[in-house]
Amino acid sequence: MTAPTARVRTQESKRIHVVMRDASLLEGSIYIAEDMSLVAFLGNRKGGYMNMVDARRPKLQEAPGHLIVQTDLVVMVSAPDGNVIVVGQAGAGAGEREVEVYLIGGKSLRGVMYVAPMQRMSDYLHHCGKFVGIARAVFTADNAEIGDIAVNTSAIAMIREAKPVGQGE
């Protein structure tokens, strides 16, 4: 008789960009399970710490190395290669809502959150935990596209539901 085998989740190195509360940028890679969303990954770090490999602070022209980052101090995370799931399957199955997100410090984003049609946004934010996913995000000041991102909910000052682009203000 053979012993049951546990399913081993394969982890892959994925490149990410991280914006910190002090506006510094970090570039590097994380090891994340293929089927895990970035929102879930960030929200489930033991003690709130995330390991990044081949990581650096580009403005300081550092050589890449190993960084340990406190996720409570992270504002947003993107996967520039587009090869990381940002929101899990449950979130992606909900309806889409256009939102404007105003961050602490004055920056604002426009994008899509996957929220059920009649669900209150405050209930959704309470349910999602430390990070929320925003699809097709754009900085509103200059319309710079940043793609799908995970945003720390404690860095959000307010959210406003927006009319889809082209439907007037």
Q: List the CATH code of the domain at 11-75.
A: 2.30.30
Ranges in the chain annotated CATH 2.30.30.100 = 89-161
The reported pTM is 0.85
**What are the tens digits of pLDDT across the range 109-154?**
999 998 888 888 888 888 888 999 999 999 999 999 999 999 999 9
pLDDT confidence of 167, banded at 50, 70, 90?
Answer: low
Domain 89-161 class in CATH:
mainly beta
Question: How large is the C-alpha radius of gyration of the chain?
Answer: 17
pLDDT confidence of 169, banded at 50, 70, 90?
Answer: very low
**What are the tens digits of pLDDT across the range 62-113?**
889 999 999 999 999 999 998 888 886 555 556 889 999 999 989 999 999 9
Query: Do the Cβ atoms of 114 and 93 come closer than 8 Å?
Result: yes
